[in-house]
Amino acid sequence: MDYARFEELRRRGSAEFERRLGAARARPRQLSYEDLEDLAVRYRQVLHDHALASSRYPGTAVARRLARLALAGTHYLQRDVGEHLPGVGRFFLHDFPAAMRRLSPLIAAMVGLFLVSGLFGFSLATVEPAVGASFLTPGAVDDLKRGRLWTESVFSVVPGSVVSSAIATNNLSVAITAWAGGVLAGLGALYVVLVNGLMLGAVLATTARYSMAGPLFEFIAAHGPLELSLIVICAAAGLAVGRALVVATDRPRAELLREAARDALVVLAGCLPWILLLGFVEGYVSPSQEVGTAFKAALGLLLEALFLFVAFNPFTRDEGRPRREVTP
C-alpha cells in the first residue's frame, strides 16, 4: 500500500477518534460505558495504524499525527485518577463513602467484638469489683466514693482549651493505633477494640456500683456514640490491611494489600475531622453543668447520624475502584 492510499484510509478513523476523545475530555460525567468501549476500540486501531506508519512511513505527517493521537489516548484511557489528590467535595461525597461500604462487613464484625468485650467487662467487674477499679486511678475511685465523677476534678482545675486539645490528641492516638495495628496481621486492631470494650464495660459496672452510672452517661452522651464509632471504624480499616496480609485468595497478595491500604488510608482521613470535632465537644460541652442532659444526648445522636450519613452516603453511586484502565 502506497502512502497516499494509507493516508486516505486512515484519515477518517483518526479524525473520529480525535473528536470522540475531545468530547470525553470535555464532558467526562456524560461518558457512558458504550462510549468508553467505542473509544477504546478506536484507540486500539490508532495504535495499530501508528505502529504501521512508524515502520513504513517514518517522519511523515500521518506518522506524526498518529503518534500524537496514540499518546493522547494513552494518557486518557490508561491514566490512574488515584494519582491525583481529589477535591474535598469528591472525597467526602464519593471516595470516603465508597471505602466505607467496602469495609462494612469488617466494621460490623468489629462492632460485634466491641459489644461482646464490653458485656464481658461489665459482667467481670460486677462479679469482681477490683477488676473495674483497676481501670481507674485511686483518685477516681475516691471521687466515686464521695459521689462525684473524676471528670469534675479535672475540668475544675484545667482550662477547657487545654483539656480539649489533650482529648483530641488522645482520641487521635487511639484511632491511629487501631488503624496502624493492622500491619501486625490485624492483631493490633483487634487488641484496641477488645481492650476498649472491656474497659468501657468495667468502668460502667464500677460507676453503677457507686450509683454514679447516671452522671457518667450524662457526661458521655454528647461525644460517646461517635467516639466509639470512630475507634471501631479505624480498627476495621486496620483489620482490612491485616486480612490482606494473611488471607490467601486467587489474586496477587500485593494487589490486595495495595487496595486494602488505599481504603484504610481513605477511611482514616475521613475520620480525622470528626475526631478533632469531638475534642471540642468533649472539652467544652460534655463537662458543662449549664448544658442539659437532653441537649447533650440530642447532640450526641445528631453527630452520630451526620457521620453515618456522610460515611454511608446513600445518594452516592459506588463507581468502584478509582483506577480506570483500558489495555490495548
CB 324 within 8 A of CB 188: no
Determine the 3-state secondary structure of 80 from DSSP: strand
Record the pTM. Answer: 0.69
| Residue 240 CA from chain centroid, whole number | 11
> Tens of pLDDT along the chain (328 residues)?
677 777 777 788 888 888 888 888 888 777 777 888 888 888 888 888 888 888 787 878 888 888 888 888 887 777 654 444 457 888 888 899 999 999 999 999 999 999 999 999 999 999 998 988 888 888 888 888 888 887 776 565 555 555 556 666 777 788 888 888 877 878 889 999 999 999 999 999 999 999 998 988 998 999 999 999 999 999 999 999 998 888 867 778 888 888 999 999 999 999 999 998 988 888 888 888 888 999 999 999 999 999 999 999 887 655 545 444 333 3
Question: Residue 142: phi, psi to the nearest 5?
Answer: -65, -40
CB 78 within 8 A of CB 324: no
